[in-house]
């Protein structure tokens, strides 16, 4: 695709990022570093806010990629061809060739992405040991990153249902 950078292949599926995603990465990292993390977790130094924001932006990239890979893997399992995955400014797209032969195929392909995001979110929150931090002030950065990544995935999943 024009304006995209090829990264690697997963099970023969080319993974690309559109140049717009680089803008999104910076914007998301900035938003987390100057808004979300200072708002939720006071007491960290500026460097920590920025490192957490950059790492969280990367985790969001990985989360969207896994979401799209779920669509693609289910499509492959249902007999479709997948020509690639491209991540854009506001998400990603799996390039699935053809149309679903059965309504069940269409449902499973569509539902697999949101389902994977919600499951990932719940796993992150489980490992964070809570659906809300007991004490937002003084929370360790790794806990904040896990907490925010969990909720980002749940929101991503619900938004895509």
Which of 72, 159, 52, 147 minimizes the C-alpha distance to 112? 72
pLDDT at position 4: 87
Q: Bigger pLDDT: 108 or 100?
A: 108
pLDDT digits (tens, 9 = 90+) for 126-142: 887 755 555 555 578 88
Give CA–CA dist 81/78, Å, rounded. Answer: 9
Q: Specify the pLDDT at position 70.
A: 96
pLDDT of 3 > 90? The answer is: no
Q: In what order do the strands lie in the sheet with 81-88?
A: 4-10, 13-18, 81-88, 91-97
pLDDT of the residue at 131: 54
Helices (H), 1-140: 19-31, 37-40, 46-77, 103-127
Establish whether 68 is a catalytic residue. Answer: yes
DSSP letters spanning 5-37: EEEEEETTEEEEEEHHHHHHHHHHHHHIIIIIH
Please count the structural domains in the chain: 1
Asked if residue 121 has pLDDT above 90, the reply is yes
Q: Tell how strand 13-18 and strand 81-88 pair up.
A: parallel
Between 64 and 41, the more confident residue is 64
Domain that holds residue 65: 4-159
Q: Which of 113-117, 143-147, 148-152 has the lowest mean pLDDT?
A: 143-147
Q: Is the pTM of this model over 0.85?
A: yes
């Amino acid at each position: 695709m024009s304006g995209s950078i090829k990264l690697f292949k997963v099970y023969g599926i080319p993974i690309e990022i559109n140049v717009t995603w680089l803008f999104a990465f910076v914007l998301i990292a900035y938003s987390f570093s100057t808004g979300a993390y200072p708002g939720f977790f006071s007491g960290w130094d500026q460097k920590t806010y920025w490192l957490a924001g950059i790492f969280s932006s990367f985790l969001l990239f990985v989360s969207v990629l896994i979401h799209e890979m779920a669509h693609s893997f289910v499509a492959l399992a249902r007999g479709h061809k997948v020509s690639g995955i491209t991540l854009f400014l506001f998400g990603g797209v799996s390039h699935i060739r053809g149309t679903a032969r059965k309504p069940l195929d269409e449902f499973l392909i569509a539902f697999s992405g949101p389902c994977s995001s919600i499951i990932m979110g719940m796993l992150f929150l489980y490992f964070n040991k809570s659906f809300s931090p007991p004490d937002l002030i003084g929370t360790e950065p790794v806990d904040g990153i896990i907490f925010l990544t969990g909720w980002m995935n749940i929101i991503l999943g619900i938004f895509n249902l």
